[in-house]
Amino acid sequence: MARSNKPVNPTSENALDRMKFEVASELGIAERVRSSGWSTMTSADCGRVGGQMVRRMIEQYESTLK
């Protein structure tokens, strides 16, 4: 079965983009992203952003369990 690149929940895509820029600004790389785009960022910078996003999502999920 072929995999699709379409998100399961299309409205979540905007929320994830907002979170991505929020995390990037906290890490101090948001201005570089705005001026150059994500494609020019290093793997390490993208990994930091992704790691922080996953941590936040796990924390949000765990807080709903309590």
Please check whether residue 46 is in contact with residue 40, taking contact to mean a CB–CB distance below 8 angstroms. Answer: no
SS3 37: coil
Is the C-alpha dihedral spanning 30, 15, 9, 50 positive or negative?
positive
As a whole number, the mean pLDDT across the chain is 91
pLDDT at residue 38, rounded to an integer: 92
d(CA 41, CA 29): 9
pLDDT digits (tens, 9 = 90+) for 17-45: 999 999 999 999 999 999 999 999 999 99
Collect all residues with Cβ–Cβ distance below 8 Å to 40 and sequence separation of at least 6.
Answer: 32
The count of structural domains within the chain is 1
Enclosing domain of residue 27: 13-65
Question: Does any domain span residue 46?
Answer: yes
Question: Does any domain span residue 4?
Answer: no
